[in-house]
Structure formats: structure tokens, C-alpha cells
A and B are shown apart, each in its own frame.
Chain A
Amino acid sequence: MGDVIGLSEAQLHALVGHRFSGGRYRIEHWENWLLTDCTGREPLPDRLVHPIVLFHVPILGVGTSITELFALGGVAGAGSVGLEGYDWEYFGPLVEDVEYRMEGGIVAANRVTDETGRVVDKMAFEITLFDETDRMAARITNRWVLRR
């Protein structure tokens, strides 16, 4: 079993309820074009953004960053973070050049022993996107595995 360093179990549990500062994000055409190209397909019509925009836009739009999320989880370095899973809901089409408002926080954090007997931490955060009329446009829950 590996040593767990960085956060005590109590500190880990205390992450639940942490709220991000909140903020806004506008997906520009160049960003959507490059993102879509990285997936290996042509741009979508009618200014639609590629659905995988729901990884980075909520994180940046809610006022945090991948770096800050790693720091909150007390991890750094190659192999320290793994993706466990995503749950992404789309309540309306996401399009370029619309300013989305975002709010969210950490909704789960717990320490478990994985199938290899190694102690790992799991952290989940949820972020909701609202359109310019303040209607919910999307909601994401991302689950990460933090290895010490």
C-alpha cells in the first residue's frame, strides 16, 4: 500500500463544499475551431461548439484552473492525477460568442483503497453553466483520482 501524503483524510473531506469564485466565459471562434480540429473533424455548423468544450470552459469560466484544482487536491507531477469519469448534461445548444455564467464547487472527496491495494483519493467537482437569459445551459460533474 502506498503512502498517502499531501492531505490528511480530514483535510480531504473538508474540500467538500468548497465553492469556486464563479465567473463568465465566452467561447470564441478560433478556440472552438482549434478544439474541434484536435478531435479530427470539421467545424460544426451554425456556430455550434464541439461538446467536449465542457472540459475546460467550466473550469476556466468558474474562476479556477487545472493547476489550482491539482493544488486543492494536494497533488503534482506525472501520474498524480487520473480521470475517473465525467457526467456532462446539455440543456441547450452551446454556441460561440455567447457569454456563459458559471458557478460550482467540490461535491465529493474521499479516500479509498483501489483494486491493487493502493490508497488513492477521489475528488469530484460540479459546475453549472447559464446562458445570457440565465437559463441552465449545461452541467458537468468530473471525477478525478488523486495518487500520492
Chain B
Amino acid sequence: MNEPADIGPGDEIPTWTMPFVDPARMRTMAAILRDPYPVHWDRDGNAALGLPGRVINQGPLNLGYIVNMLLAWAGPSCVRRLTVSFGRPVLDGDHVTAGGRVTSIADIDGERRATCDVWLDRDGEHVVTGTAVVALGAR
């Protein structure tokens, strides 16, 4: 990454791509979360939702792709705040890409922080949007 002093409003965050949303990972995730909601593993049940034969990725995993982009850009302990809204569901087999852009820089609590617009795209459409506050130089 650039040095923190070199980062400013308008800078793009290098994208992070999940080329194939894996249904096996959804099943593992459901177990970790103790999440009984069948939309993540019951393909037949999702026919009633207009998604026959498909399963829906967990929201935290969709956010996780955005977080992975931030961690790769600014270091493993950089995240200070995530504020996100979820749009359309991400499904098994989808190819999604996380992106972001710095909107402002401020010195807070002794560290330089970037506020960034962030998003997750599928086929050019935002499926998650939000704001992240990231500490620069927090490796």
C-alpha cells in the first residue's frame, strides 16, 4: 500500500474478488453461526423464493469480502467501523468483487483514519453498499 500520508480523498482501494461463491462454505458458515435458516443450504426450499436450485450466501460473508479488501489494503487490524446496507442476495456460484474509494481523511485518537465508500458488485450491480472507517498504518 501507499504510505498513509500519501492516501487522500478520491483514491481507489484495490479491488478484491471472490470468483466463485462456494455453497460448501455457506454450509460451514451456517454451522459456525448456529444458523438454522435453511435459505443457506436447502436448494429445494428456496424455490418458494423464486430461487429454485440455488442457495443464498450469508450477509456476513458478503461483508467479509469487503473486509478482505480493506485488510489487504491497510493491514490486518485496520478496521474501525463498518456501516453497510444489503441489497440483492448473493447466490452460490456468483462472481463478486469488492471495491472502495476514500472519501475523507482525519486524525482521530492518535491515528490517521480514512473514511471510505465501499461496495460489493455482481455483474456491475452493487449488492452491498456502505461506509468503512479504516486506520492507516495499522499493520
Q: A63 on the interface (CB 8 Å rule)?
A: no
List chain B positions with a Cβ less than 8 A from chain A. 18, 25, 28-29, 32-39, 42, 45-46, 48-49, 58-61, 63-65, 67-68, 71-72, 76-77, 79-86, 130
CA distance A90 to B65 in the complex (A): 18
Bound-state CA distance A60–B33 (Å) is 9
Chain A contacts for B45, CB-based, 8 A: 78
For the residues of A in contact with B, the DSSP-based class is mixed
User: Which among A38, A56, A83 is the interface contact of B86 at CB below 8 angstroms?
Assistant: A83
* 8 Å CB contact of A78 from B49, B60, B77: B49
Chain A residues in 8 Å Cβ range of B42: 78
The answer on a CB contact under 8 Å between B29 and A38 is yes
Determine whether the beta carbon of B76 is less than 8 Å from that of A46: yes
B63 near A79 with CB under 8 A, answer no
- Structural contact, A86 and B82, CB atoms closer than 8 A: yes
State in angstroms the CA–CA spacing of A50 and B60 once bound together.
11
25 A-B contacts (beta carbon < 8 Å)? A34-B32, A38-B61, A39-B61, A40-B18, A44-B76, A51-B82, A55-B60, A56-B32, A56-B34, A56-B35, A66-B34, A66-B35, A66-B36, A78-B42, A78-B49, A79-B39, A81-B37, A82-B86, A83-B59, A84-B86, A85-B130, A86-B82, A87-B82, A87-B83, A88-B81
Which of A's residues lie within 8 Å of B, judged by CB? 31, 34-35, 37-41, 44-46, 48, 50-52, 55-56, 60, 65-67, 70, 78-79, 81-90, 93
Count how many pairs of residues, one from A and one from B, have CB atoms less than 8 Å apart in the complex: 101
Please state if B33 and A56 are interface contacts (CB–CB under 8 Å).
yes
**Are A51 and B67 closer than 8 Å at their CB atoms?**
yes
Query: What chain B residues lie within 8 Å of A50 (beta carbons)?
Result: 64, 67
Contact B77 A93 (CB under 8 A): yes
What's the Cα separation between A78 and B68 when bound, in Å?
Answer: 29
Instruction: Select from chain A the residue with minimum beta-carbon distance to B85.
Output: A85
Q: Which chain B residues border A65 with CB–CB below 8 Å?
A: 34
Among candidates B38, B61, B72, B77, residue contacting A52 with C-beta atoms closer than 8 Å: B61
Instruction: A35-B29, A55-B60 are known; give 15 further A-B pairs, CB within 8 A.
Output: A37-B28, A40-B68, A44-B71, A44-B76, A51-B67, A51-B82, A56-B33, A56-B34, A79-B39, A85-B83, A85-B84, A85-B130, A87-B81, A87-B82, A87-B83
